[in-house]
A = this chain, B = another copy of it.
Amino acid sequence: MQEYRLLLVDDEKDILKLLQYNFELEGMNVHTAQTGKDAIDLALSLIPNVILLDVMLPDIDGIEVCEILRKNPVLNNTIIIFLSARGEDYSQVAGYRAGADDYIVKPIRIKVLLHKIKALLDRNRDYNDFESINNMQIDSDRFSIMKDGKESIIPKKEFELLSYLMSSPDKVFRREEILSEVWGDAFIGDRTIDVHVRKLREKFGREIIRTVKGVGYRFMGN
């Protein structure tokens, strides 16, 4: 579990301490937040591998936090696990709708939780390995792309765009899709996308991204 960044979000300090202690024993890099707002800020700057998110928070609802985070492609590979004192169907269902990867009801059994996280992380790793397309591998931890054994560290937006396109190789993403997924609801001109595509092509070869005129762009899976 080395090298993994973990974000704990809970309003109760005791639980934070308990969990932090246990995860640090496992060698994880643990950060904590007590409010939804802090959680979002930290998550976006830290880009953790795992977020443990309490549903009950003083300001923003944990489920809402999750929805907000899930919208940001930077956190595509982040595992989000809900914690809740409530065991009702209702909140479990809402949790999955919000894009959670798992759901755990308090009281927490540390060992179970650890193994759950390990399983999810392992799965993600495998996933990344399989997601080596066209000699290109994407490493969201480092904001870098490996192509033909050479590592390139690329700027955030380029990385986000490339990740997005690579998330479904060969699919043509429409410009509107790209705008809303990569840029959120900012008011951005069309040329901005082109420029970023251009930079990516400059770095990795003209052929990796193909234009479909009048529609959008497509990352070539071969």
Contact = CB atoms under 8 A, between A and B. Distances in A.
A11 interface: no
A172 B93 contact: no
B142 A171 contact: yes
Contacts of A210: 153
Interface string A145-178: 0000000010110000000000010111000000
Interface string A80-105: 00000000010011001101111100
Interface residues of A, number: 38
A115 interface: yes
Given A111-B89, A112-B92, A130 B99 contact: no
A89 B130 CA distance: 31
Contacts of A111: 89, 93
B130 A218 contact: no
Contacts of A170: 141-142, 144
A72 to B, nearest CB: 14
A206 interface: no
Interface stretch (A45-53, A118-126, A192-200): A118-126
A189 interface: no
A89 B116 contact: no
A34 interface: no
B89 A156 contact: no
A66 to B, nearest CB: 11
B155 A213 contact: yes
A60 interface: no
A36 B137 CA distance: 37
A112 B20 CA distance: 29
A143 B89 contact: no
A133 to B, nearest CB: 12
Interface of A: 76, 89, 92-93, 96-97, 99-103, 109, 111-112, 115-116, 118-119, 123, 126, 130, 141-144, 153, 155-156, 168, 170-172, 210, 212-215, 218
